[in-house]
Structures are given as C-alpha cells and as structure tokens.
C-alpha cells in the first residue's frame, strides 16, 4: 500500500501516542471528502482531542474504532501542540464543527444529500431550522435523533442507506458515535461519515462555542466547562491532567540520555561489566 501524501507530495500520516493521524489541513480534508463523493468511495472520519486520546488508552473498543477510521484528524489544539513538543508535525487543528460547516456548504453547492443523526429530538428540530436558514438549498435526505438502543443500529444504518445520503453527520457523544461508525458506517452507504459530537447543540443555539481567541489559545474546553461546570469541570480537569502527564512521559521516553565522557578517574571504576 502506498503512503498517503498531501498536496505538497509529502507523507501525510504521523504517529502520536501510538495513534496514526492524518497530517492534513482543513482545505485538504474537505477536498479528500469531496473526492470520495465524486469517486463513490467511503471515508469514515475519526476526530481526536486530548480527552479522547486519554480515553482511548482506557477503552480498547474506542481505540480500535478510532484507529480503524480512514482519516484520523487532530480536533484539539492541545494535540497539535503536543505534536510540536514531541517532534510530530501536524499542520493545524481540524475542528470537527468547522469541518462540519465546510462540508454542509460544499454539499449545498454541489447538491449532495446529507443525513443528520444525533441529539435530542427538540435539539435536532432546532438545528434543522437553523441549517435551513443558513443553507437554504441544502438537500437533507433524512434525520433522526440520537437516542436509540444498540439493537436499533442496523435498522438506523439501513434507513440512512435508503435515504440516499452521501454525507452522514453523527451528533452523538463518544464512544457511541465511534462504535456506530465502526460497526455500521459502511452499511449506511454514505460516502463520508463524520462524527461531530456536540456540534448539533451549538448549531441549535443550546450551547455557545468559545470565541475565536479562546480557540486559538487552546481553551475551548475551558469555555465549555464554564457553561456546565458540574457536569464537565471535573471531567476536563482529569483528562487534561492525564494528557499532560502522557505528553511529559512521551517526551522523557524520546529524549536520549546524555552521559558524561568516560575518564580515567576513580569514578570510572564503577563500571564492572
């Protein structure tokens, strides 16, 4: 198999914390998705941030689901920064919600049908209304809320396939969206399957996204925690601390030891072998 390359002809795959990532820009990612639609190929997209990389070490099923995706992208700014510290170059953060919006715009322009799966029904209805205002020509082939049992997954995948949607967006939390993608992404028939997490809530106006300056500083998680401190505060603090420890340990592991030159002093007599 040939190694994937970006538009500069350079290999576009990197390994960080044992996870293979695609070192693509947002523009390159969008183009990769549009090419898949044109060629009738299927692409499953996995997104990783600091919390997910931590959870992947704790949850083998989640790790397998993400690693099995065709594209695995750095959704969190902390992942990009950790890569720089560890000598693993990732060109930029490819935020899931930004990719979502770019693909909706592209789908509207190219008359590509989409399916929206996730969130509560009231949130989904609000989001559909907002999308209709922002992308009036977008063809929504179908939608469904994200509250279903595992036993319903085959039926839902078949409904997506029957809709004829080429782009499938999953507005569900981890690991539910990754597990669904791994088990039934291909069955949906969608050319691109993209898990967008809480993006449905943001588009519906239920939660607010952090200002751009917070995003650039890598503090989007903190802004989110301020909105729901009881539910998210401890979770983010725990996973971010674990991610920092992961990064430091990896840096220590990769840093070669610097030994003093051997001398004829008495200290050198300690080498008995």
Q: What is the pLDDT of residues 12-31, one digit of tens each?
A: 899 999 999 999 999 999 99
User: Would residue 9 be called left, alpha or beta, if left means φ above 0 and alpha means ψ between -120 and 50 degrees?
Assistant: left
Per-residue pLDDT tens digits of the chain, which is 273 residues long: 334 555 444 458 999 999 999 999 999 999 999 999 999 999 999 999 999 999 999 999 999 999 999 999 999 999 999 999 999 999 999 999 999 999 999 999 999 999 999 999 999 999 999 999 999 999 999 999 999 999 999 999 999 999 999 999 999 999 999 999 999 999 999 999 999 999 999 999 998 887 888 878 877 877 777 887 777 767 778 998 999 999 999 999 887 655 555 544 444 444 333
Which residues, at least 6 apart from 230, have a Cβ–Cβ distance to it below 8 Å? none
List the one residue out of 66, 61, 32, 65 whose CA is nearest residue 48. 66
pLDDT at 7 (0 to 100): 47
pLDDT at 5 (0 to 100): 54
CB 61 within 8 A of CB 51: no
Which residues, at least 6 apart from 46, have a Cβ–Cβ distance to it below 8 Å? 65, 66, 67, 68, 69, 71, 72, 73, 178, 181, 195
Question: Taking the model in full, what pTM does it have?
Answer: 0.87
List the one residue out of 35, 120, 19 whose CA is nearest residue 67. 19
């Amino acid at each position: 198999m040939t190694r994937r390359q970006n538009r500069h002809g350079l290999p576009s795959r990197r390994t960080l914390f044992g996870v293979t990532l695609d070192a693509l820009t947002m523009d390159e990612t969008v183009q990769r998705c549009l090419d898949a639609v044109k060629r009738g190929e299927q692409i499953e997209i996995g997104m990783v941030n600091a919390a997910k990389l931590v959870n992947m070490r704790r949850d083998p099923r989640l790790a397998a689901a993400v690693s099995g995706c065709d594209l695995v992208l750095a959704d969190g700014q902390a992942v990009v920064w950790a890569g720089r510290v560890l000598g693993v170059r990732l060109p930029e953060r490819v935020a899931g919600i930004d990719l979502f919006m770019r693909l909706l715009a592209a789908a509207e322009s190219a008359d590509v049908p989409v399916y929206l799966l996730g969130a509560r029904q009231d949130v989904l209805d609000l989001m559909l209304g907002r999308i209709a205002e922002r992308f009036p020509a977008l063809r929504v082939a179908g939608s469904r809320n994200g509250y279903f049992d595992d036993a319903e997954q085959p039926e839902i995948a078949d409904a997506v396939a029957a809709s004829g949607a080429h782009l499938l967006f999953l507005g569900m939390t981890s690991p539910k969206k990754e597990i669904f993608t791994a088990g039934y992404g291909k069955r949906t028939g969608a050319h691109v399957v993209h898990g967008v997490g809480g993006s449905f809530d943001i588009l519906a106006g239920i939660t607010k996204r952090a200002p751009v300056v917070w995003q650039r500083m890598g503090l989007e998680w903190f802004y989110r925690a301020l909105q729901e401190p009881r539910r998210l505060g401890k979770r983010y603090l725990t996973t971010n601390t674990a991610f920092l420890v992961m990064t430091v340990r990896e840096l220590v592991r990769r840093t070669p030891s610097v030994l003093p030159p051997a001398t004829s002093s008495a200290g050198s007599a300690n080498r008995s072998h």
